[in-house]
Amino acid sequence: VRYLGNRSSGRQGEALAREAASRGATVTLIATMPVSMQPPHEVVAVDTAAEMSEAVARFSEQSDIIMMAAAVADFRPKTHSELKMKKRDGVPEVMLEATVDILDRVGGAKRSDQMVVGFAAETDDLRSNAVEKLVSKGADLIVANDVSAPQVGFGHETNAVLIFGPEDFVVEVPLTHKRAVAAAIFDEIAKRRK
Ligand code: CTP
C-alpha cells in the first residue's frame, strides 16, 4: 500500500539507452518505469534497488559500457507489513537499512576493456562531491547535476550537467533536452574508447 520511492522519472536513463541504440550499440535498459525498446535491444523491468542490483550483476560482465543513471534508493525499510498498517495503531517508526551501492560494485569489478559511467545528484558542493564519487566508486566518468536548479534533473525533460573524468577533466553541458545530454556523454565516451 505504501512504500519509499523517489521523484526520478527515469527519462535520462531512457535517453541514454535510445542515444546508444542510435549509435549502433546493443542496449539492455534496466528500468523501474514502463518503457519499451525494439529488438535487438532489451528492457529489464525492476522494482527495487535489490532487483536492480541483481539485474546489473547479470548483464554487466557482457557489457562494454555500463551507465548508472538511476536514482537508486540508499536505504530501504528493514521490515515490511503483509497487512495494511492501520492509523489507529499510531504513528509507525520506520527502521531503515542500507541498500547495495550498485555503481560502487560495478566500478570495483570493472575490467580494463569496460567503461563505467556514474551520475551524481547534488544540491551543494557539486564539484567536490562529484569528484569524490568518481574516485571512490571507480567510475571512468561522473555526470553531475544540481538537482535543486530550475528545470534540471528529477521529473524534467531537460538537464544541465558537468561531466567529470580523471585529472581535472570537466565538460559543461548547459541546460538542454535529456537526449542532447545523452549525446554529449556518448561524445566523451567515443573519444575515450578511441
Ligand atoms: N548509486 C547506486 N546504488 C545506490 C546508490 C547510488 O548505484 N544504492 C549510483 C547512482 O546510480 C549514481 C551514483 O551512484 O550513478 C551516485 O548516486 P547519488 O544518488 O548521486 O549519490 P550516492 O552515492 O547515493 O551518495 P549521496 O546520497 O550521499 O550523495
Atom 17 of ligand 1, nearest CA residue? 120
Q: Which residues 6+ apart lie within 8 Å of 59 measured at CB?
A: 28, 30, 44
- Please tell me the distance from the alpha carbon of residue 62 to that of residue 149, in angstroms, as a whole number: 36
Residue 152 CB-half CA count within 13 A? 18
CA–CA distances in Å: residue 91 to residues 1, 82, 88, 94: 16, 18, 9, 9
User: What is the pLDDT, as a whole number, of residue 151?
Assistant: 87
Which atom from ligand 1 is nearest to the alpha carbon of 119?
Answer: 15
Ligand 1 in contact with 187 (CB < 6 A)? no
User: What is the pLDDT, as a whole number, of residue 154?
Assistant: 84
pLDDT tens-place values along the chain, 194 residues long? 778 888 888 999 999 999 999 999 999 999 999 999 999 999 999 999 999 999 999 999 999 999 999 999 999 999 988 999 999 999 999 999 999 999 999 999 999 999 999 999 999 999 999 999 999 999 999 999 999 998 887 889 999 999 999 988 899 999 999 999 999 999 999 999 87
Residue 139 CB-half CA count within 13 A? 27
Active site amino acids: 6
Q: Which parts of the chain fold into alpha helices (H)?
A: 11-22, 49-60, 102-108, 126-136, 178-193
Distance 103 CA to ligand 1 centre (A): 7
User: What is the pLDDT, as a whole number, of residue 168?
Assistant: 87
Q: Which residues 6+ apart lie within 8 Å of 112 measured at CB?
A: none
Which atom from ligand 1 is nearest to the alpha carbon of 102?
Answer: 7
User: What is the pLDDT, as a whole number, of residue 41?
Assistant: 98
Q: Cα 114 to the chain's mean position, in Å?
A: 17
Distance 157 CA to ligand 1 centre (A): 21
Cis peptide before 150 (omega within 30 of 0): no
pTM of the model: 0.95
Which atom from ligand 1 is nearest to the alpha carbon of 118?
Answer: 15
User: What is the pLDDT, as a whole number, of residue 80?
Assistant: 87
